[in-house]
C-alpha cells in the first residue's frame, strides 16, 4: 500500500513534468531552463503541501522522483521533436491527470497527519493546483486555475468524495480511487463540454476572459 502511494506520487510528478515541458515547447522556450520549468511544475505542488503541513519535503531524501522527472522530460522532448503536429489539448489532458493524482496524494497525506476535513480538502486543491499555477506564472500565462472552466472545484468534489468515503468506513483504497476518478472525470468532462461556472453577472457587451 505504501508502495502504491509512492508510485502514484511518481506518476503525478512525471505527468506534471510532461505538462511543464509541453507549455515550454508551446511558448518556444528553449535550453536547460525548460527542464527546470518541468521539474518545478512536477514537484511544486507537493513541496508546498509538505511545507505547510510541516512534514519533511517528499523529495529531500528520495532521488527516485528526479529519475521519474528526467524520464518524463526526455520522453516528452523526444516525442515533441518527432511529431510536429501535437494534439492541441494534450497539455490540458496531462494537466488533468496530474491534478487528479496530486489532489488524492495531498488529501492522503493530510488525513494521515490527522487534519480536519476542511484542511484535507484544501490540501487536495493545493497539491493538485499549485504545480500548474507555478508553471503558468513562470510561463507568463494566466493560470488555468483562474480561467472560467471547472478546475479547482473538481479537486473539491474529489475531496468531498474522499472524506465521505472515509467517514463511511469504505477504506482508504476505495476512497482514493473514487476521489481520483471523480476529479479526473469532472475535469475531462469540463474540458470536453466547456463547463463553466459563472459567479459574476457582467453587464451586456462584456466578455469574461
Task: Examine residue 81 and tell whether it contacts a copy of itself (CB under 8 A).
Answer: yes
Q: Are 109 and 120 in contact (CB under 8 A)?
A: no
Nearer to a copy of itself, 112 or 196 (CB): 196
Task: Examine residue 209 and tell whether it contacts a copy of itself (CB under 8 A).
Answer: yes
Nearer to a copy of itself, 65 or 101 (CB): 65
Nearer to a copy of itself, 35 or 180 (CB): 35
CA angle 187, 191, 197 (to 5 degrees): 80
Question: Phi/psi of residue 207, each to 5°?
Answer: -110, 135
- Compute the distance between CA of residue 19 and CA of residue 41 in angstroms, rounded to an integer: 8
Nearer to a copy of itself, 1 or 199 (CB): 199
Burial, 17: exposed, middle or buried (Cβ in 10 Å; 0-12, 13-18, 19+)? Answer: buried
Chain residues binding a copy of itself by CB under 8 A are 24-25, 27-37, 47, 51-54, 56-57, 59-61, 63, 66, 77, 80-81, 84, 115-116, 118-119, 122, 125, 129, 133, 137-140, 142-143, 145-153, 196-203, 206-209
Amino acid at each position: 500500500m505504501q508502495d502504491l502511494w509512492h508510485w502514484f506520487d511518481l506518476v503525478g510528478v512525471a505527468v506534471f513534468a510532461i505538462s511543464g515541458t509541453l507549455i515550454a515547447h508551446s511558448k518556444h522556450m528553449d535550453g536547460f531552463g525548460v527542464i527546470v520549468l518541468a521539474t518545478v511544475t512536477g514537484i511544486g505542488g507537493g513541496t508546498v503541501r509538505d511545507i505547510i503541513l510541516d512534514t519533511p519535503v517528499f523529495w529531500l531524501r528520495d532521488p527516485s522522483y528526479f529519475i521519474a522527472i528526467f524520464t518524463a522530460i526526455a520522453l516528452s522532448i523526444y516525442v515533441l521533436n518527432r511529431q510536429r503536429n501535437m494534439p492541441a489539448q494534450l497539455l490540458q489532458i496531462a494537466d488533468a491527470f496530474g491534478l487528479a493524482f496530486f489532489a488524492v496524494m495531498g488529501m492522503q497525506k493530510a488525513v494521515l497527519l490527522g487534519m480536519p476535513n476542511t484542511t484535507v480538502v484544501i490540501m487536495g486543491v493545493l497539491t493538485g493546483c499549485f504545480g500548474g499555477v507555478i508553471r503558468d506564472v513562470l510561463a507568463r500565462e494566466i493560470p488555468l486555475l483562474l480561467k472560467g472552466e471547472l478546475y479547482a472545484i473538481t479537486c473539491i468534489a474529489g475531496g468531498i468524495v474522499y472524506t465521505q468515503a472515509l467517514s463511511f468506513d469504505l477504506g482508504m483504497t476505495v476512497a482514493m480511487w473514487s476521489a481520483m476518478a471523480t476529479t479526473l472525470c469532472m475535469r475531462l468532462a469540463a474540458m470536453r463540454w466547456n463547463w463553466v461556472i459563472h459567479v459574476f453577472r457582467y453587464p451586456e457587451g462584456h466578455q469574461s476572459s
